[in-house]
Each structure stands twice: as C-alpha cells, then as structure tokens.
Amino acid sequence: MTDLEQQIKAWADATVDLAAEAPGVAAPPEPAVPSTRARRWARPLVVAAVAVALVGIGIVVVGRGDERRVRTGPAGPVTTTTQHGPRDARDIVAESLFAGGAGDAPIGTIGAAFTEAQFTELWGTLEPSPKSRGFGGPGPAPDLDFGHTVVLSIVVGGDGCPTEFAGFRNTSGHRIIEPVFDRPDPVGPCDREVIPIRYLIAIDWDTTYPTIVVQVPTAETGVVEQLQLRRSQPDPVVVELETDIGQVHAGDQFDVNVAIQNATGAPIDTVGCGRPFALGLRRGGELYAAGQGWCRQEFAIPTGSSVYRVTLMAGRNGCTTDPTAVVPERCLDDGSPADLEPGIYEMVLLTPEGFDALPLRRMIEVLPRDR
Amino acid sequence: MTDDEAFAAFVTDAEPRLKRAFTLLRGADVGADATAEALAWAWEHWAEVQAMGNPVGYLYRVGSSKTRFREERFPHAVPPPDAPGFEPGLVPALARLTVRQRTAVVLVHGCGWTHQEVADALELSRSSVGTHVDRAMAQLRIELGVDR
C-alpha cells in the first residue's frame, strides 16, 4: 500500500469514527437476528402470542384520567433470553394514545399522522369498540409536538380481552419494526371471534432512525402490511417513480415502477380508465403520452405500500396525414409517426381522478433511434 | 441455514460495508438513510439478492437511487487536523476530483472494495473503474506533492 493509499484509508477511518460520534447520528447498529420476513409471517393473530417478545422492555404505566397510558422506556436487567433480541426497537420511546374500535378498517390497516392537522382529523374518526371490553372512547385529543412525534395508526386483530401496547421489536433488519402487545390482567379464556382493534401510537422521532418501516399482520395468515415512516417526509401520500434508466433510444419501451406510500390510514378511491396510472414524456411544453380511454373505472389505492408497473414508450403516439402539416406532426411516408427529437424529457405521471400526490421531477434523455 | 439466518448473516457483512461507503461519500445522515433503504430493499427482495454475484454493489446503487434527491456536498465532515495518518490537504483534494473519480477512489482505497465491486456499484466496466482510480490517484499525488 502506498503512502497516499494509507492516507486515504486513515482519512476514511477518521471520518467514519467522527460520524459515529456525531450528536444525533446513530452509531452503526449491531447486527440483528431476524425472526421472520414479510409474506411469510405465520404467527397467529392472537395478541397473547406476542407477549413473549416483551422480555427486556421496561414498562412504566402512567395514569392519566380514565385512560391507561403505557410508555416504554429503557430496559431493565434482562432475566430471560429471547432469540428475537429487539435491541434497537426497544429503545424507541412510544406511547399508546388510544385503543378501540376500528370501524370498517380491516386488520392490517396502517397509517400515520405527521402533522397536527392530520392528527386532529385522525382523532376525529376514532370510536370505542362496543364488542370489546376495556376500551374506552377517545376523549380529548392530547397535545403533541409534531416536530418530534409521529402518530402511527394501526389496526390489529384482538380476541376481545384488554391488551396494552408494550413497545416495538425488530423483525428482519434494524429499521423494520412491529408493535408488540401485552395482556397485563388475564381475565380468563378469551375465545371470542377475532375483531379489529385500532391503536394510535405516538413515536418519539428522536429515539428512532429517520427512516423506519413499521409492519403489522393482516387477517391473512403469513401476510403483513408495511408502511415506511420518514421523518423528513410528512406527506401522508408519497409517490415515487422508480427506474434506474437514465437514457433511452427513440422508439424504446421501458417499465417504470410507480411506488406509492399511502399513510392516510384508508384506501384512496380514484377513478381512471384501464389502469390507475400512466406515464408520458414532456419537453418544450409538449406532452407525449398514450391517449386515455373514456371509461370510468374505480381503483382503490390501498394503505401502506403499493407498486404499479407502467410501460412508457419514448415516442409519439399519433401523427397526421395532412400533407400541409409540419414535420414532426406529419406522418412519415410509411404512415408511422416521426421519432421524438433527441434531448432531455421530463417523465410525467398521469394520475387518476381523486389522486393528488405527485412524484419528484424525473428526467430522462432520449437518444436517436438505435438502428 | 434458514433464509432468516442467511439474511442475518448477510446484514452482518453488508451493513458495515454499505454504511462506510455511504458515510464517506454521502455524509452521516444521508449515509444512514441510504444504508437503511438499501437493506430494506434487500429484505423485501431477498430471493433476488441471494442470487446476485455482488449484492453489496447492487445495494449501493439501490441506496444511492433512493436518496438521490437529498442535498449533499463533499466533504460532509472533516476529521480534526490532529487526526493521525493523513495530510490535511487530502480532503480538499478529494473534493476537487470529479464525482466519478472520487467515488471510485474512496470505494477502492477508503473502503477496500475491489475494482469489480465498484464496477458493479457504479454500472461501469472494471477497466473504467481502473481508469477513474488511476486518474484520481495521479491528481491527488500532484495536488499533495507526494511520490508513488
């Protein structure tokens, strides 16, 4: 190794050490031992099963009016071992704000409020569950500092007995977490039908990574719903165009993933035709996109993450046979439209009625046709 | 070994490598996010990742892509002048390299990646990586006044 190579190595070591020591920057987490992975989670839905995972989580019960509030705190001495080792997630400070009826929301519904306005709206939809014991009405909304807090809304399956949110644990990876619940006061067998229970959980951003993925089980065994929470991303509906393609040739077709994070806690009802999303290319005020049909079909964008694969063609979708028209609008001699002119184009997402979110601007370079 | 055990073993190896690379090239904050994004993607696409010849290189691209809109300017943090082992002029000299040259030289000499791994991460040929590294090292030697 030359002297310069050693210098680069030394600079790299010092910079990484500096980053690890910087305030507000998490040190590299220790490797986690994953318990399960998405889509293969075969854990029963009954909440009693997850109580086992609470080992090592210190629980402080705080009385406040007629509510019972649970705050997770630093762990006390671990007296029992568990192979699921929630080393990172147990440090998350989270507080259960509400547990009660879920209305029509199915098990697995997941959403989040990043602002006071979103939280107020969410709180207004809460309702007690007449079918379960131990859950009261919502009461007045608590004051929260949304500069440091995000409120998670989840619907999980319960068996009719009172349960308490008891914190989070890691699943696979350090930032993929799931809530755990405890039954602090056994009341005998709880053999009623599984019912949806909504929990509102305030998470202290300062005790988490800026990006975490929360997952909850759905009613379908082995299937989980996930939601990514990003501190710098307060928009409840986020749409991204995912592609690694930066250049295409005129006439090429390529696929782009339209990835949606719906954290509103409810499906988004939209109206389109054929498919909910389409893509076009725009340059110089001209939009090049396939024509839209005239039908009206309803599409529900589900809560959590969803991805729609859309095929985009770098080309014109029509031309005119009018001989007086100017090129490139005029059809070529063989009747086909002229190629797009080479240059930088903006990818334009064509969204269905009822869907307002827009992706960040993505550009793509169109090269001359690859002959 | 089960899938879960294999993924845990993979994370143990891949996370520090990704985190080091992203921290050096993107800064601590973006680096942490990029690493998380990359590993979250790996977790969701574990079957694909297992089949990859160089999954860390591919995940570097995933993490870079997912954080591509974040503001950044090299350098993100400068170790104190008394940090042992390197010339203080190194950081400004690294900053003056082209992004490709800096990325290649930092991954190779700051992170210990092979040229093939860097090629996979940057979607370049191995020879192109070698060219970027050679030119970057030559430029650094000129700026720092060091011999080979």
Instruction: State the ipTM, two decimals.
Output: 0.91
Q: Quick check: A5 and B46 CB within 8 A?
A: no
For residue A96, pLDDT beyond 70: yes
**pLDDT exceeding 70 applies to what percent of chain A?**
70
Mean pLDDT within B59-64: 89
**pLDDT exceeding 70 applies to what percent of chain B?**
86
pLDDT at site A137: 63
pLDDT tens digits for range A171-197? 755 667 889 988 766 556 665 677 888
Burial of A145 (0-12, 13-18, 19+ CB in 10 A): exposed
Write down the mean pLDDT value for chain B: 84
- Which among B77, B109, B137 has the least Cβ separation from residue A15? B77
* Residues near A349 by beta carbon (within 8 Å), at least 6 away in sequence: A239, A241, A258, A277, A278, A279, A358, A359
More confident residue, A12 or A284: A12
Residue A307, chain B, CB below 8 Å: the answer is no
Q: How far apart are CA B35 and CA B23, in angstroms?
A: 9
Residue A136, chain B, CB below 8 Å: the answer is no
Mean pLDDT within A284-290: 78
Q: Quick check: B110 and A3 CB within 8 A?
A: no
Q: How far apart are CA A228 and CA A315, in angstroms?
A: 35
Q: How far apart are CA B110 and CA A86, in angstroms?
A: 32
More confident residue, B84 or A121: A121
Q: Quick check: B23 and A15 CB within 8 A?
A: yes
Nearest CA in chain A to B141: A4
pLDDT tens digits for range B97-126? 888 889 999 999 999 999 988 998 888 888
pLDDT at site A37: 30
pLDDT band at A369 (very low <50, low <70, confident <90, very high): confident
Adjacency order of strands within the sheet including A278-283: A247-249, A362-367, A343-350, A278-283, A286-289
Mean pLDDT within B1-15: 83
Interface of B with A in 10-39 (CB under 8 A): 11-12, 15-16, 19-20, 23-24, 27-29, 31-33, 36-37, 39
Q: Quick check: B15 and A10 CB within 8 A?
A: no
For residue A112, pLDDT beyond 60: yes
More confident residue, A360 or A1: A360
pLDDT at site A103: 79
More confident residue, A332 or B114: B114
pLDDT band at B44 (very low <50, low <70, confident <90, very high): confident
Which residues from A are below 8 Å from B20, CB to CB? 12, 16
Mean pLDDT within A76-87: 29
Residue A10, chain B, CB below 8 Å: the answer is yes
Selected residue of A1, A2, A5, A7 to mutate for chain B interface (largest B Cβ count, 10 A): A7
- Which among A14, A26, A173 has the least Cβ separation from residue B32? A26
pLDDT tens digits for range A3-62? 888 889 888 888 888 777 654 333 333 322 222 232 222 222 222 222 222 222 222 222
Residue B52, chain A, CB below 8 Å: the answer is no
Which residues from A are below 8 Å from B16, CB to CB? 28
